[in-house]
Amino acid sequence: MAKQLLPTYSICSIADTPVTKNDFMTDRFSHYLEAHKDLHFPHKHSFYHLVFFTEGSGSHSIDFINFTVVPGQIYFMTPGQVHAWDFKKSPEGYIINFSENYISTMLMNARYLDQFSFFSGNAAEQVIDIPGKDRASLVQLLETILREEASGAALKDDMIRTAMIQLFIYVSRLSEPAEKATSSGYNSVLLKNFQKLIDLHFRKKKLTRDYAAMLFVTPNHLNALSKHVTGKAAGELIRDRVILEAKRLLVNADMSIAEVASELEFEDNSYFSKFFRKYTGLTPETFRKSVLDK
């Protein structure tokens, strides 16, 4: 019997009780986990997602990067990322699922979340260990969100949104150097626009010069900026995004390697396989087996 494609959950489909809105839900983590026991298998979300662990041990992965679960850890995810859990000791904490629209409806800036590195879509920046002395303030905000959601009070969503924005700023201040957090200059904007363009066009455009043209800069300038800020050449960022999408597609057991290659607009299956092996050290088949056999 063929395996199903990797599941992608919406807020409505993942709720264990009927929900009155499709853009927000929150719960205590142990209750959420009990209601969704299959979520330790790889899956995707169509929404933003965060978890703060207060108890428990084990591991979880975001886009195939593994992290050890420890009390005081918070992680963030953006829509489309692949996630899995493997807990050793029953975890406790808080979970929030929300759409971008849920936050942006009360703000003038529709791209408000972009300023936070933990919403960048880069797994290495999305898992943060909160120091012990700072955890009580975070718990207080999360308890406020839970309480407001259960209250049915007038303007509760505005209270929830306000507490969530406080939470984002609080975690950002703890996790990012002050000079980085306040950076809003030309180079910062240019790099963010480059990364957004990669997300939009990586299937068809795989060369630095293509993105430099769209950004009205030279390839050398874009490459120098990328190296200075990220430590990686512009072409490497493009390749990383192609490889990440290849991995996300390969965990769909019903997609053939040829179909994955076609989806990523490689000329043929052989070239895709060589490309994937060159930059990961694994064949597509070996990578797929390593994930699905866990």
For residue range 131-154, what is the model confidence (pLDDT) as tens digits?
999 999 999 999 999 999 999 899
Q: Is the pTM of this model over 0.85?
A: yes
- Mean pLDDT score across all residues of the chain: 90
**Would you state the structure tokens that stand for residue 218, as one six-digit string?**
């030279």
Annotate 193-241 with DSSP letters as a single string: HHHHHHHHHTTT--SHHHHHHHHTS-HHHHHHHHHHHHSS-HHHHHHHH
Which class for 217: exposed (0-12), middle (13-18), buried (19 or more C-beta within 10 A)? middle
287: which residues sit within 8 A by CB, 6+ positions away?
A: 247, 250, 276, 280
Tell me the pLDDT tens digit for each residue of 261-270: 999 999 999 9
Tell me the pLDDT tens digit for each residue of 5-37: 677 888 877 765 555 567 999 999 999 988 887
- Decide if 36 contacts 16 (C-beta within 8 A): yes
Separation of alpha carbons 236 and 242, rounded Å: 10
What percentage of the chain carries pLDDT values higher than 70? Answer: 92
Question: To which residue do tokens 């800036």 refer?
Answer: 109
182 pLDDT exceeds 70?
A: no
35: which residues sit within 8 A by CB, 6+ positions away?
A: 16
Which of the pair, 185 or 123, is modelled with greater confidence?
123
27-46: string of b/e by CB count within 10 Å (b at 16+)? Answer: bbbbebbeebeebbebbbbb
Going by their DSSP bridges, the two strands 43-45 and 82-98 should be labelled as antiparallel
pLDDT bin (cut points 50, 70, 90) of residue 180 is low
Question: Using the 8-state DSSP alphabet, how is residue 5 labeled?
Answer: P
What was the pLDDT predicted at 4?
A: 46
What the chain holds in terms of domains, given with CATH numbers, is: 8-180 (2.60.120.280), 186-292 (1.10.10.60)
Tell me the pLDDT tens digit for each residue of 91-125: 999 999 999 999 988 888 888 998 899 999 999 99
Tell me the pLDDT tens digit for each residue of 232-275: 999 999 999 999 999 999 999 889 999 999 999 999 999 999 99
**Phi–psi pair at 264, nearest 5 degrees:** -90, 5
What was the pLDDT predicted at 55?
A: 97
